[in-house]
């Protein structure tokens, strides 16, 4: 699968990202449960970009590691960044009035989760769900 970049600039782009992630996961042979996990992660992380950074993008692609093949999603923006990523990864922490479940919940639904953020520069979240674990 070739990598695909989807702009995240408005609410409707969240649905586009969800649909593309589901299609990519299904095309790779992920189970319905894993397709749902990946779609949920895409929804949460895309919504964070729209809410906090206004615009960004998701890059959908495959990754290969020895005998493992996975789906990698990279969410990136040039928004305000996250001052304390360790705190942001705690259940219940929020700066936007939500439940504080998006980032830590997303981490639990994937195999690999990496967040990089610099205040006033932006945030990049990379997740991978392995097809063969």
3-state SS of the chain is CCCEEEEECCHHHHHHHHHHHHHHHHHHCCCHHHHHHHHHHHHHHHHHHHHHHCCEEEEEEEEEECCEEEEEEEEEECCCCCCCHHHHCCCCCCCCCCCCCHHHHHHHHCCEEEEEEECCCEEEEEEEEECCC
Q: What percent of the chain has pLDDT over 90?
A: 74
pLDDT at 106: 93
**Mean pLDDT of the residues in the chain:** 90
For the domain with range 4-130, which CATH number is right: 3.40.50.1970, 1.10.10.10, 3.40.720.10, 3.30.565.10? 3.30.565.10
What are the tens digits of pLDDT across the range 11-66?
A: 999 999 999 999 999 999 999 999 999 999 999 999 999 998 989 999 999 999 88
């Amino acid at each position: 699968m070739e990598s695909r970049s989807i702009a995240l600039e408005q609410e409707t782009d969240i649905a586009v990202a969800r649909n593309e992630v589901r299609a990519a996961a299904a095309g790779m042979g992920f189970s319905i449960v894993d397709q749902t996990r990946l779609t949920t992660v895409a929804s949460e992380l895309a919504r964070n970009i729209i809410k906090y950074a206004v615009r960004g993008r998701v890059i959908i692609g495959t990754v290969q590691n020895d005998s493992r093949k996975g789906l990698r999603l990279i969410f990136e923006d040039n928004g305000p960044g996250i001052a304390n990523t360790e705190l942001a990864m705690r259940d219940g922490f929020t700066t936007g009035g939500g439940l504080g479940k998006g980032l830590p919940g997303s981490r639990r639904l994937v195999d690999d989760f990496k967040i990089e953020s610099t205040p006033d520069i932006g945030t990049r979240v990379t997740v991978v769900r392995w097809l063969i674990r």
